Homo-oligomer: A and B are copies of this chain.
């Protein structure tokens, strides 16, 4: 595979965080031609560059000027400003994309007329290899041929490729906040409740795994269990009585309980 990479479109990856690291490693693993990585931190740039046999730099002025694709895996807030700086360095006709779920592709538009999004919808950790083949890669591009170009690259790293425009991707990102950030937060609340009483979080770890596993092949609205969906008001009252010490937790319990009841009815 890697032998072919010289003939493949050249990619420059900007950023060496969780997303940048995992995405560039996957592209490399799948024989894609990542020619250079940029990180503001020299050490990280070197480490990642060496890992994927690519050039590396911590100086934005030294990025390749003629790559076929630039992927900006930087913090949402910096996409526009990095694109602006790049516009003074690289070819104006370059294809420049970002990897953000919540940022419109149009933040790149003032600086490059060929712009798009290459958004793998997953939570990444720099130390843990993602299960790439099942990760939805959400693509968008200002131009149809660019979109097809992105699709070929996305297909190389995942079996799940979607075309989502800015509005659709924004909606997917709201859903992702519920699916990931808010679920993690209710797990954290469970931890808080247990630890306050010197009970181990291990009591609910298997339950959490099973809750997620259950919806691999089913829909969560069909899998709802618990006192709210059963209409078990006696248990709900007992829980609220216990939670009265913490008015925030009580409010969250009440609001979610009411919403489960309402959805059911």
List the interface of chain A (C-beta within 8 A of B): 76-77, 102, 121-123, 125, 130-131, 134-136, 138, 160, 162, 164, 168, 170-194, 197, 199, 201-216, 219-221, 223-229, 232, 235, 238-239, 242-243, 248, 251-253, 255-256, 259-260, 262-263
Starting from the known contacts A188-B220, A248-B259, 17 additional A-B residue pairs (CB-CB under 8 Å) come to A102-B239, A123-B225, A125-B214, A168-B197, A171-B193, A171-B197, A179-B186, A179-B187, A179-B208, A180-B204, A181-B224, A181-B227, A182-B253, A182-B256, A183-B211, A185-B256, A212-B212
- Cβ-defined contact, A213 with B204, below 8 A: no
Q: How distant is the Cα of A77 from the Cα of B232 in the complex, in angstroms?
A: 9
Are B122 and A203 in contact, with the CB atoms below 8 A? no
User: CB within 8 A of A178: which of B172, B186, B251?
Assistant: B186
Task: Across the interface, name the chain B residue whose C-beta is closest to A183.
Answer: B183
Write 14 A-B pairs (CB below 8 A) sorted by A numbering: A131-B206, A168-B199, A172-B194, A172-B204, A174-B239, A176-B207, A179-B187, A184-B226, A185-B256, A185-B260, A190-B220, A191-B219, A205-B215, A248-B262
B179 touches A204 (CB 8 A): yes
A189, B178: Cα distance in complex, Å? 7
Contact call B203/A213, Cβ cutoff below 8 A = no
- Chain B residue numbers with a CB within 8 Å of A160 are 202, 206
* Secondary structure dominating the interface of A: helix
Docked-complex contact A176 and B204, CB < 8 angstroms: yes
Q: How far is the CA of A238 from the CA of B225 in the complex (A)?
A: 31
B187 touching A102 by the CB < 8 A rule? no
Which residues of the other chain, B, contact A135 by a CB distance below 8 angstroms?
206
Say whether, besides A138-B203, A193-B171, A212-B211, A184 and B223 are in contact (CB < 8 Å).
Answer: yes
Contacts A175-B203, A203-B162, A255-B255 given; indicate if A221 touches B181 (C-beta within 8 A): no
The 3 closest A-B pairs by CB, nearest first: A181-B226, A212-B212, A187-B220
In Å, the complex CA distance between A214 and B130 comes to: 11
Which B residues touch A192, using CB under 8 A? 221
